Amino acid sequence: MGMTMTEKILARAGGKKRVSPGEIAVVEVETAVLIDLSFLPEGWREVLKVYDPEKVVIVFDHLVPAASVQAASCHKTGREFARKFGISRLHDVGLDQGISHAVVAERGYALPGTVLVNSDSHTCAAGAFNCAARGVGAPDLLWAITTGTAWFRVGETIRYDFTGSFSPGVTAKDLFLAIAGTYGAHVNQNIEYGGPGLKALSIDARRTLATMGAEFSAEFTIFEADEILIEYVRARNEKPFEPVSPDLDASYKERRAIDLGAILPLVALPDAVVNQSVPVSAVAGTRIDQAFIGSCANGTLEDLEIAARVVKGKKVARGTRFIVTPSTQAIYRAALKAGHVETLLEAGALVTPATCGACVGGHMGVLGPGEVCITASTRNFKGRMGDPSAKIFMASPATVAASAIAGKIAAAEEVFA
Amino acid sequence: MIAARVWKFGDNINTDLILPGPYLYRSPEEQARAVFEANRPGWVDQVKKGDAIVAGFNFGMGSSRPAARSLKNCGVGFLVAETINGLFFRNSVNFGLLALECPGVAAAFEEGDKALLSLSEWTLKNPRNGLVLAVSPVAAELLAIMQGGGIYPLMEEKGLIAPRS
Ligand code: SF4
Interval A4-31: pLDDT, tens: 999 999 999 999 999 999 999 999 999 9
CB distance A366 to B25 below 8 Å: no
pLDDT value at position A13? Answer: 98
In this prediction, residue A344 carries a pLDDT of: 98
Which tens digit of pLDDT belongs to each residue from A190-243?
999 999 999 999 999 999 999 999 999 999 999 999 999 999 999 999 999 999
> SS3 sequence, A182-251?
HHCCCCCEEEEEECHHHHHCCHHHHHHHHHHHHHHCCCCEEECCCHHHHHHHHCCCCCCCCCCCCCCCEC
- Pair (A204, A306) in one structural domain: no
User: Last residue of some domain: A260, A289, A311?
Assistant: A260
Question: What distance, in Å, lies between the first and last C-alpha atoms of chain A?
Answer: 48
Among A194, A228, A260, which residue terminates a domain?
A: A260
**How far does the CA of residue A388 sit from the closest CA of chain B (Å)?**
6
**Chain segment B44-72, per-residue pLDDT in tens:** 999 999 999 999 999 999 999 999 999 99
3-state per-residue secondary structure call for chain A: CECCHHHHHHHHHCCCCCCCCCCEEEEECCEEEEEHHHHCCCCCCCECCCCCHHHEEEECCCCCCCCCHHHHHHHHHHHHHHHHHCCCCEECCCCCCECHHHHHHHHCCCCCCCEEEECCHHHHHHHHHCCEEEECHHHHHHHHHHHCEEEEECCEEEEEEEECCCCCCCCHHHHHHHHHHHHCCCCCEEEEEECHHHHHCCHHHHHHHHHHHHHHCCCCEEECCCHHHHHHHHCCCCCCCCCCCCCCCECCCEEEEEEHHHCCCEEECCECCCCCEEEHHHHCCCECCEEEECHHHHCCHHHHHHHHHHHCCCCCCCCCEEEECCCEHHHHHHHHHCCHHHHHHHHCCEECCCCCHHHHCCCCCCECCCCEEEEECCCCECCCCECCCCEEEECCHHHHHHHHHHCECCCCHHHHC
Residue A84 is assigned to a structural domain of this protein: yes
Do the domain assignments include residue A244?
no
Contact A397, A376 (CB under 8 A): yes
Q: A218 with A294, same domain?
A: no
Q: Which residues of A touch B37 (CB under 8 A)?
A: 388
Residue pair A268/A276 in contact by the 8 Å Cβ criterion: yes
Above 0.90 for ipTM, yes or no?
yes
Cβ contact (<8 Å) for A217 and B21?
Answer: no
A400 near A290, Cβ under 8 Å?
no
Residue A417, pLDDT above cutoff 90: no
Query: In this predicted structure, what is the pLDDT of residue A365?
Result: 97
What is the per-residue pLDDT for A54?
97
Reported as a single tens digit per residue, the pLDDT across A23-66 is 999 999 999 999 999 999 989 999 999 999 999 999 999 999 99
- Closest atom of ligand 1 relative to the A359 alpha carbon: 2
Instruction: Name, in order, each residue with C-beta under 8 angstroms of A353's C-beta and a sequence gap of 6 or more.
Output: A64, A65, A325, A326, A329, A332
Per the CB < 8 A criterion, the answer to whether A31 and A129 are in contact is: no
Going by pLDDT thresholds of 50, 70 and 90, the confidence category of residue A91 is very high
Asked if the model's pLDDT at residue A414 lies above 90, the reply is no
Task: Name residues whose C-beta falls within 8 Å of residue A387's C-beta, 6 or more positions apart in sequence.
Answer: A367, A368, A369, A370, A371
What CA dihedral angle connects A194, A198, A199 and A203, to 10 degrees? Answer: -110
Rounded to whole angstroms, the Cα distance separating A19 from A240 reads: 24
Dihedrals phi, psi of A275, to nearest 5 degrees: 60, 30
Q: Which of B14, B58, B160 sits opposite A381 (nearest CB)?
A: B14
Q: What is the CA radius of gyration of chain A?
A: 20
Residues paired with residue A116 on neighbouring β-strands, in sequence order: A31, A133
Looking at residue B98, its pLDDT comes to 98
Phi, psi of B9 (to 5 degrees): -130, 160
Q: What is the CATH number of the domain that holds A342?
A: 3.30.499.10
Task: For a ligand 1 pocket test, name from A33, A36, A62, A375 the mutation site with the most ligand atoms within 8 angstroms of its C-beta.
Answer: A62
- Tell me if A146 sits within 8 A of A50, measured CB to CB: yes
Return the SS3 of B34.
coil
Cα–Cα distances in angstroms (integers) from residue B96 to residues A219, A277, A400, in the given order: 21, 36, 41
Report pLDDT for B3.
97
Question: Is A287 in the same domain as A190?
Answer: no
Assess contact for A181 and A276: CB atoms under 8 A: yes
Residues A216 and A197 in one domain: yes
Q: Is the pLDDT of residue B74 over 90?
A: yes
Q: CB distance A45–B65 less than 8 Å?
A: no
DSSP state of B61: B
Residue B92 touches partner A, C-beta closer than 8 Å: no
Decide: A127 and A133 in contact? Cβ < 8 Å: yes
d(CA A283, CA A71): 37
Residue nearest to atom 6 of ligand 1 (CA): A356
Residue B164 confidence class, pLDDT cut points 50, 70, 90: confident
| Residues A53 and A120 both lie in one domain | yes
A126 close to A100: Cβ distance less than 8 angstroms: no
Q: Does any domain span residue A245?
A: no
Residues A344, A322: Cα–Cα separation, whole Å: 9
Same domain, A231 and A312: no
Centre of ligand 1 to C-alpha A100, Å, is 9
Q: How many domains does chain A have?
A: 2
**Residue A34, domain member (yes or no):** yes
pLDDT band at A401 (very low <50, low <70, confident <90, very high): very high
* Domains of chain B, residue spans: 2-138
Are A270 and A294 in a shared domain? yes
- Are A48 and A142 part of one and the same domain? yes
Looking at the complex, does the CB of residue A360 fall below 8 Å from at least one CB of chain B?
yes
Architecture of domain B2-138: Alpha-Beta Barrel (3.20)
| Residues A68 and A211 reside in one and the same domain | yes
Cβ neighbors of A42 (< 8 A, separation 6 or more) are B27, B28, B66
Distance A375 CA to ligand 1 centre (A): 13
**What per-residue confidence (pLDDT) applies to A42?**
87
A170 and A298, same domain (yes or no) = no
**pTM for the full predicted model:** 0.96
Domain that holds residue A296: 266-416
Q: Look at residue A135 and tell me whether its pLDDT is greater than 90.
A: yes
Peptide bond connecting A41 to the previous residue in cis, omega within 30 degrees of 0: no
- Going by C-alpha positions, the residue among A119, A177, A139, A152 that lies closest to residue A25 is A152
The reply to whether A162 and A274 lie within a common domain is no
Q: What is the number of residues in chain A?
A: 417
- The pLDDT of A171-195, averaged and rounded, is 97
Residues near A313 by Cβ (< 8 Å), separated by ≥ 6?
none
Given a cut of 80, is residue B165 above it in pLDDT? Answer: no
Tell me the percentage of chain A whose pLDDT exceeds 70.
100
Is there a contact between B147 and B98 (Cβ–Cβ < 8 Å)? yes
- Cα A192 to the center of its chain, rounded Å: 16
Tallying the residues shown for chain B, one arrives at 165
The CA distance from B148 to A81, in Å, is: 28
What's the average model confidence in pLDDT over A152-161?
A: 97
Q: What is the pLDDT of residue A1?
A: 85
Specify the residue with its C-alpha closest to ligand 1, atom 1.
A295
Q: How confident is the prediction for chain A on average, in pLDDT?
A: 97
Q: Judge: A45–B142 Cβ closer than 8 Å, yes or no.
A: no
| Residue A398 and residue A273 share a domain | yes
CA dihedral A280, A286, A291, A297 (to 10 degrees): -30
Rounded CA-CA distance A34/A78 in Å is 9
Q: Are B96 and B106 in contact (CB under 8 A)?
A: no
Contact between B58 and A272 using a beta-carbon 8 Å cutoff: no
CB contact B57 to A (< 8 Å):
yes
Q: Is B56 on the interface with A (CB under 8 A)?
A: no
Q: Is B163 helix (H, G, I), strand (E, B) or coil?
A: coil
Q: What percent of chain A has pLDDT over 90?
A: 98
Q: How large a percentage of chain B has pLDDT more than 70? A: 100
In a domain, A48, yes or no: yes
